[in-house]
Structure 1
Amino acid sequence: MASLDGSRRFQQLRTISGLVLFAYVLSHMLNHSLGLVSLEAMDRWRGILSWQFGGAWIVLLVAALVHIGHALWSLYDRRVMRMPAWQFMQLLLGLSIPFLLIEHVLGTRAVAELYGVNPSYTSVQLTYWRLAPHLGILQSIVMVISWVHGCMGLHFWLRLRSGYRAVAPGLFTLAVLIPTLALLGFLVSGRILLMETADGEAVARILEAARVPGPTTSVFVNDTSLIFRYAFAALIAVTLLARGVRGLLSSRFGTVTLTYVDGPTVTMLPGASILEMSRAYGIPHASVCGGRGRCSTCRVSVGHGRELLPPPSSAEQRVLTRIGAGRDVRLACQVRPRHSVSIRPLMPPASTPEISLRPSSHLEGQEQEIVILFADLRGFTTLSEARLPYDVVFVLNRYFEVVGQAVETHNGHIDKFIGDGMMALFGIDGDPARAAGDALAAARAIADSITQLNRDLEHDLPYPLRVAIGVHSGTVILGEMGYGRARSFTAIGDPVNTTSRLEQIAKDNDVELVVSREVEARAGVDLGDHPLQFVPVRGRRAALEVRLVRLASSLGRTPAASPLTVPPNPA
């Protein structure tokens, strides 16, 4: 466990170093964008935006060494080279940056420290646009690569934060705008410099102002760049060779098997995590964060061999505690079994960051009291028979839109759309009393929305749309159910079937809403102005008491129903 915690701290250092480097790239690009103003503006702000102050270059050097060191360690630590495409691209871009950037670093910072050169934007642009144009192209490429690499890292780090989705569009706009302005500034200032240095005297003045000691610095930059590239390539090769040697040595140990419940049994690679084994054998396995222990989407339920696993590290335990995981639940990316185990993945392979924040019990299945709402259009089949398919789809989508908005506005969860019907759940996060009030408020909002929709479509429909709604509460089983991409969060149990029956009763009695007395009591409202009926329900010995509400929009508008507070309809 100590080694895992140490790995976690090393990963935190990687994150910090990455943020430092990204901050530098960002400010450097802002400095480049000032080229749209003038070369003088670029030089005026160079000290701050290009971090030409104090020991800032030492901070950058340490951050770069830590970041590169972590990349090489991650490459060595992998037992399986299969990884998501985005992760492979991020790794490839990151390893290419030192090869491409070394000449720029040596030609600016190194020569300044070793030879007393005073590189300005004017002298650097002179090199890139007149003396060595190929270096200008190389610098533009590495600038874009560094930016893309940094943005990918930030995206896959921040997307696990709950508020990231709201600001993501704005950040994406900045991610495109900033390098565009930087490249334009580089281009405009370079063209200006070419016009100003048309004669040799202007070039000589710039080189003299920069204190360039002749060809000595060029020889130093070229020779040192070549040595660095060979050395870095050798370092990568040694890392890959060390992986191979480790694999040969570890193969001498006994065979360990990994059994997937309702799936294959595979031979474990020594030292590999459960997630790496899934990738090695092409078994679909969710992992939003790429196997870095930041999310919980790779979680598994461990059966046989659970007691032989090493205890969770502090980092893994934090994630498991956050989702309220049971004792059998572990993170597949953090567990490296040394004995044979059997596991069952708990998340659908196509999981999202939002799903990773759900409590573990929702995925494993749990009993919970909730409120269910069924809504269905009356007579829509007859209406659709006389209309073109496009018109049917258009009307249905408008209906689903207003009904969905009514449910979500009142804290409901849309379970599924079935034909021209909809099932919604209220109270999946607890508090049945509030759930009952929310469901009744949603029923009224649905009725109001249908009324407004009929006004909007009065010239397109032969007769108005009519809705039948059933609302009931009870204890159901909640969980992720289904197969493959059809897997979703849903509820099953007798209360669900009963609610569907109430919706049919609404149609049979020509009313908009049928509410069970259980929901009425939970919500703390009095619907005494509406008829009471006892209806038989299959599977129940006693008849179910329900209220027949002719117009759902009347809820909360009569004196008897005044305790029901219904927010204004969003439609």
Structure 2
Amino acid sequence: MPILSGSRRFQQLRTISGLVLFAYVLMHMLNHSLGLVSLEAMDRWRFLLSWQFAGGWIVILAAAVVHSVHALWSLYDRRVMRMPAWQFMQLLLGLAIPFLLIEHVLGTRAVAELYGVQPSYALVQLTYWRLAPHLGILQSTVMIISWVHGCVGLHFWLRLRPWYRSVAPGLFTLAVLVPTLALLGFVVSGRALLVETADGAAVAEILKAAQVPGPTSTAFVGKTALFFRYGFAGLIAATLFARGVRNLLSSRFGTMTLSYADGPTVTLLPGASILEMSRAYGVPHASVCGGRGRCSTCRVSVGLGRDRLPAPSSVEQRVLTRIGAAADVRLACMVRPKHSLTVRPLMPPASTPELALRPSTHLEGQEREIVILFADLRGFTSLSEARLPYDVVFVLNRYFEAVGQAVESNNGHIDKFIGDGMMALFGISDDPVRAANDALVTARAIAERIDRLNRDLEHDLPNPLRVAIGIHAGTVILGEMGYGRARSFTAIGDPVNTTSRLEQIAKDNEVELVVSREVEARAGIDLGRHPLQFVPVRGRKAALEVRLIRSAGALGALPVV
């Protein structure tokens, strides 16, 4: 991996230089908007709003050089030119700005330093509106391009911040308002100057006040701008040529492959990152930040070949640590494999900024031993048929509140409510012993809360509410599944289906709780006083050993873990 690509310091310099340039463009536009008042107001506030102070231009120049070097390096470092449309436009606009802006820089700052010219807004507007109108069009164009380039960069930098979504509408309004006011100020002040300089005497007076040395400075600006454009174009051409030479020399990697789990196997592109290869071969791959190591949406689980990869850079490690990633997880934009590799993308291709830095364990699928609890009301269908819809909803919500509080107060995770039933998971972040005990305590708490609820509603219910609970343990796949807004964190696997069957067995045997021997063993308790039964479970060859517990409240005291 190139040193600069993974350098946090290099990324910080790029960000700082971009912020400095954006601040300058913002203040320059605010200064232009004062043209709605007068040319005098533009000059009066120029010192504060356009960085016209000692050393200010050096700061701007340094930031421009750093940002330009980064743009050229990004062009060289990119192994595959296929990229998102917004990223391509950012690169194109960024490289176009120096070509368009050079004459303005030379005509204001350079002539001031070399020829003692005292540029004022009157001189600038005179040049753009009367002496060289084509430069006025050019300056307006580069002003908008610079603003758009800066706003897009800020958007993709800030949209990973939790607070950004709430302030984005206001920032968008400002992003439209600022350039609009700047262009209006530019036009209004320019038209006013055209009226004031209708005769040659007024023009001569402005040139004399600015101490313009005649055609000498004009010739200097024209020739220097031409040389600069040729030079910058040469740097771009040299960068592209260097890319070609590097790619040609890297062809020694031969026919090594990159294999996607449940996807294609493609030929390794020399020096390209995993994300770049996904783009080159049209493999859908999430990347909210555009492959800059700022988010984690491009992350992959690396299988075969993981032991031969270099250690993560500081930038990559910072993101992996923040999301609590497992040892096999790497950022696809940061890894440039030099040998055959097998990977599995962990995020949906259409990932959003909200998912960018959420904990790893809640997003990609992973195997884990957990305890599952199913609870369901018995006979509620017949009960609801004789009641008004409002009454049914009222009773159900009271029931959901009772069982939900029992689960959450005992370290459980409510997976979903299904009709009048509920599925809960234990052990997502705890050990199996603690999870088994928490599930049993929850079953007892549900029974106790249902008893209290029956006492509260005894005048409204013809028959008390009864619940059937099944608890089982096993290895499942955890992950965020679904589509669109229906995505949710859940578990799938045979233990889930088995637990659902245990809840039905509780109903069939007229008991309140059925617990598998797996849960009993994990909890380290003896439920021998409750009947042991071997029950057939659909999908399992062997019968399952379970305890039939008539009342969950009869579990009594459980060991504290």
TM-score, normalising length: structure 1: 0.72
| Deviation of 1:471 (Å) | 10
Partner of 1:119: 119
Question: Quick check: 1:369–1:473 contact (8 Å CA) kept in 2?
Answer: no
Taking the aligned partners of 2:123 and 2:331, their CA distance within structure 1 comes to: 53
Partner of 2:194: 194
Partner of 1:364: 365
> Residue 65 of structure 1 aligns to which amino acid in structure 2?
V
Partner of 1:45: 45
Partner of 1:557: none
Question: Quick check: 2:285–2:345 contact (8 Å CA) kept in 1?
Answer: yes
Query: Is 1:54 equivalent to 2:54 in the alignment?
Result: yes
Kindly tell me: are residues 489 and 133 of structure 1, through their superposed partners in 2, closer, same or farther at Cα, counting changes over 3 Å?
farther
Question: Quick check: 2:21–2:64 contact (8 Å CA) kept in 1?
Answer: yes
Taking the aligned partners of 2:194 and 2:40, their CA distance within structure 1 comes to: 15
Kindly tell me: are residues 116 and 470 of structure 1, through their superposed partners in 2, closer, same or farther at Cα, counting changes over 3 Å?
farther
Kindly tell me: are residues 368 and 171 of structure 1, through their superposed partners in 2, closer, same or farther at Cα, counting changes over 3 Å?
farther
Taking the aligned partners of 1:315 and 1:321, their CA distance within structure 2 comes to: 10
Kindly tell me: are residues 499 and 38 of structure 1, through their superposed partners in 2, closer, same or farther at Cα, counting changes over 3 Å?
farther
Taking the aligned partners of 1:192 and 1:413, their CA distance within structure 2 comes to: 69
Partner of 2:557: none
| Deviation of 1:504 (Å) | 11
| Deviation of 1:226 (Å) | 1.7
Kindly tell me: are residues 111 and 483 of structure 1, through their superposed partners in 2, closer, same or farther at Cα, counting changes over 3 Å?
same
Partner of 2:90: 90
Question: Quick check: 1:2–1:313 contact (8 Å CA) kept in 2?
Answer: no
Taking the aligned partners of 2:171 and 2:424, their CA distance within structure 1 comes to: 33
Partner of 2:206: 206
Taking the aligned partners of 1:474 and 1:164, their CA distance within structure 2 comes to: 43
| Deviation of 1:500 (Å) | 8.1
Taking the aligned partners of 2:356 and 2:266, their CA distance within structure 1 comes to: 26
Kindly tell me: are residues 503 and 57 of structure 1, through their superposed partners in 2, closer, same or farther at Cα, counting changes over 3 Å?
farther
Determine what percentage of the aligned residue pairs are the same residue.
Answer: 73
Answer with 1 or 2: which has the greater Rg. 2
Taking the aligned partners of 1:501 and 1:136, their CA distance within structure 2 comes to: 77
1:76-96: CA deviations, max 9, x gaps? Answer: 111100111111111111111
Structure 1 segment 110-509 matched on structure 2, within 5 A:
110-362=110-362, 363-365=364-366, 367=368, 477=476, 479-480=478-479, 489-492=489-492
Kindly tell me: are residues 202 and 256 of structure 1, through their superposed partners in 2, closer, same or farther at Cα, counting changes over 3 Å?
same
Kindly tell me: are residues 250 and 211 of structure 1, through their superposed partners in 2, closer, same or farther at Cα, counting changes over 3 Å?
same
Taking the aligned partners of 1:151 and 1:71, their CA distance within structure 2 comes to: 17
1:175-218: CA deviations, max 9, x gaps? Answer: 11111111111122112212222222111111111111112222
Taking the aligned partners of 1:340 and 1:250, their CA distance within structure 2 comes to: 15
| Deviation of 1:308 (Å) | 0.9
Partner of 1:14: 14
| Deviation of 1:172 (Å) | 1.4
Kindly tell me: are residues 372 and 21 of structure 1, through their superposed partners in 2, closer, same or farther at Cα, counting changes over 3 Å?
farther
> Residue 337 of structure 2 aligns to which amino acid in structure 1?
P
1:133-168: CA deviations, max 9, x gaps? Answer: 111111111111101111111111111122222222
Report the 3-state secondary structure (helix = DSSP H, G, I; strand = E; otherwise coil) of the residue aligned with 2:307: helix
> Residue 270 of structure 2 aligns to which amino acid in structure 1?
P
Taking the aligned partners of 1:278 and 1:23, their CA distance within structure 2 comes to: 36
Partner of 1:73: 73
Kindly tell me: are residues 128 and 540 of structure 1, through their superposed partners in 2, closer, same or farther at Cα, counting changes over 3 Å?
farther
> Residue 365 of structure 2 aligns to which amino acid in structure 1?
E
Report the 3-state secondary structure (helix = DSSP H, G, I; strand = E; otherwise coil) of the residue aligned with 1:259: strand
Taking the aligned partners of 1:191 and 1:425, their CA distance within structure 2 comes to: 71
1:425-478: CA deviations, max 9, x gaps? Answer: 999788999xx8xx99xx99xxxxxxxxxxxxxxxxxxxxxxxx9999987856
Question: Quick check: 1:473–1:495 contact (8 Å CA) kept in 2?
Answer: no
Question: Quick check: 1:478–1:489 contact (8 Å CA) kept in 2?
Answer: no
Report the 3-state secondary structure (helix = DSSP H, G, I; strand = E; otherwise coil) of the residue aligned with 1:263: coil
| Deviation of 1:223 (Å) | 1.8
1:2-52: CA deviations, max 9, x gaps? Answer: 926763322221111111101111111111111122111111110111101
Taking the aligned partners of 1:279 and 1:545, their CA distance within structure 2 comes to: 59
TM-score, normalising length: structure 2: 0.73
Question: Quick check: 1:36–1:188 contact (8 Å CA) kept in 2?
Answer: yes
Kindly tell me: are residues 106 and 498 of structure 1, through their superposed partners in 2, closer, same or farther at Cα, counting changes over 3 Å?
same
Taking the aligned partners of 2:417 and 2:134, their CA distance within structure 1 comes to: 59
> Residue 283 of structure 1 aligns to which amino acid in structure 2?
V
Taking the aligned partners of 2:424 and 2:152, their CA distance within structure 1 comes to: 36
1:370-401: CA deviations, max 9, x gaps? Answer: 9999999x99xxx9xxxxxxxxxxxxxxxxxx
Taking the aligned partners of 2:42 and 2:513, their CA distance within structure 1 comes to: 70
> Residue 48 of structure 2 aligns to which amino acid in structure 1?
I
Question: Quick check: 1:373–1:425 contact (8 Å CA) kept in 2?
Answer: no
Kindly tell me: are residues 146 and 422 of structure 1, through their superposed partners in 2, closer, same or farther at Cα, counting changes over 3 Å?
farther
Kindly tell me: are residues 35 and 329 of structure 1, through their superposed partners in 2, closer, same or farther at Cα, counting changes over 3 Å?
same
Structure 1 segment 520-559 matched on structure 2, within 5 A:
541-542=546-547
| Deviation of 1:74 (Å) | 0.7
Taking the aligned partners of 1:542 and 1:58, their CA distance within structure 2 comes to: 80
Taking the aligned partners of 1:542 and 1:97, their CA distance within structure 2 comes to: 75
Report the 3-state secondary structure (helix = DSSP H, G, I; strand = E; otherwise coil) of the residue aligned with 1:301: strand
Structure 1 segment 508-523 matched on structure 2, within 5 A:
none
Report the 3-state secondary structure (helix = DSSP H, G, I; strand = E; otherwise coil) of the residue aligned with 1:285: coil
Kindly tell me: are residues 481 and 103 of structure 1, through their superposed partners in 2, closer, same or farther at Cα, counting changes over 3 Å?
same
1:461-501: CA deviations, max 9, x gaps? Answer: xxxxxxxx999998785644658879764333689669989
> Residue 347 of structure 1 aligns to which amino acid in structure 2?
M
Kindly tell me: are residues 375 and 73 of structure 1, through their superposed partners in 2, closer, same or farther at Cα, counting changes over 3 Å?
farther
